[in-house]
Chain A
């Protein structure tokens, strides 16, 4: 089974919503980091009108998870709808292929490493 890595960078308030949906999309683990960053607006607030000349870093959350590739489109649709407010700063989603996953404790690889196995 092919696996994909989904990385979501969004505002702090949205992570709770994503955590509550993990089970629905076959997600077995999630990593959340507090990060600082900016996008194309260079950290400008939407009301400022003008884009800043120098980047200003704003606090954000980076959510990383690996899931079956076949479930990615549905999951992305759901996440997009949940994050969407129409305002700048809703976030970005990066999707990439995962070539290998290893569960260190058992040495299991790929799908077996992500999902619970009976030993």
Chain B
């Protein structure tokens, strides 16, 4: 029976839907307001580095296909359990919790902006939303799964239309006269690359659809690259639109730049349009992230990298401990309030540092696997030998180094990252040495990592130590 496979348009649509989030609009507003249209250069640099990452992750996926744990399993086979725990917990669990908190704050701030007469602070809306989403996830209901793509495409289409309308100055009465460029200083442009990087983050989420794609060897990397370029074009229109309709200072102060822009461009209609689309997008994406983080923790516990309680499920089959922990942390962050654009972009940048570190590890994984399995067939291989992974890693390191143009902010981000890293290192050290009883940096054999994917693996092996369980020998009658 021939199963219908996904074509290139489906890969592009899925990738774009996964990359664009409402909190990207905040980065876009912050970056544009800081240096004007030269922020487009930062965006192009960030887009190129994400394309290099897309190529590397496509090669690893072709070598170790159909792994639900993704980066955790690649890193386990390349660098051993210590780095894997740090990268996965820091690069995905902590980082996504931070970024989703910022995403959630966009919900509160948008409602606060649209309904100021209610007099409620943004945090109240966020806390209520999170309580509802935690309850929904605990009941094992993914009520947004079916509409998530529709909502994501709605947001993207809306932004593209709004960007083009702003670029062509559809409403000449409200056009703002202001300088196109606020700074063309090289260090200012590069200092905003970290913020720009956030606009394109997440293309690796398209990898799990590889086995449904027709000729994934070409179409998956090509689809990811086209989607990154399309997003870049869409964001460029938005930056030009911002310049035409929103005073740079107001844009920098705004926690909901899309609503500010929508209002300036199309009046009340623009306000409600942008508010509706972004609220739906936030609700569906935060709901999905709470659920997927709980399942990532479940998967990591399955292969022994996290405590076994993450595998506990309730009567509805939901991994309730993970849902409560990740949803709870988001709730606490939002309860303390993320009402200023500065606090939001700080949170985004801190999360982005961890995410970029995870991307660097992926580039290095490509090189390690080439050394480990030089002759294994790769349906996709990054061209140019080690050049692209090396350039990608250097570029990301440089972006981490230059994460913010303001030195004080940069030091604050580093401090938070180092504190989290220290906690993670202690946990990883104790867990690997005392519980897993493994070498910190000894990579697992690739075939063992692939075998872990089999649902019978935990039945036959202890997930923590990887040692085979002693099984009773069947008696022969």
Contacts and interface: CB of A to CB of B under 8 A. Distances in A.
Interface in A17-59: 45-50
Interface string A78-112: 00110011111000000000000000000000000
Contact of A86 (B63, B459, B461): B63
B460 interface: yes
A46 B377 contact: no
A77 interface: yes
Contact of B377 (A47, A50, A77): A77
B459 A47 contact: yes
> Helix, strand, loop or mixed for chain A's interface?
loop
B342 interface: no
A8 to B, nearest CB: 14
Nearest to B377: A80
Contacts, number: 47
B383 interface: no
A77 to B, nearest CB: 7
A87 B454 CA distance: 10
A47 B457 contact: yes
Contacts of A50: 468
A87 B379 contact: no
Contacts of B459: 47
A86 B447 CA distance: 7
B18 to A, nearest CB: 24
B304 to A, nearest CB: 13
Given A49-B468, A81-B379, A87 B460 contact: no
Interface of B: 63-66, 217, 376-377, 379, 446-447, 450-451, 454, 456-457, 459-461, 466-468
30 contacts: A45-B456, A46-B450, A46-B451, A47-B451, A47-B456, A47-B457, A47-B460, A47-B461, A48-B460, A48-B468, A49-B451, A49-B457, A49-B461, A49-B466, A49-B468, A50-B468, A77-B377, A80-B377, A81-B377, A81-B379, A84-B376, A84-B379, A85-B66, A86-B64, A86-B65, A86-B376, A86-B450, A87-B447, A87-B451, A88-B447
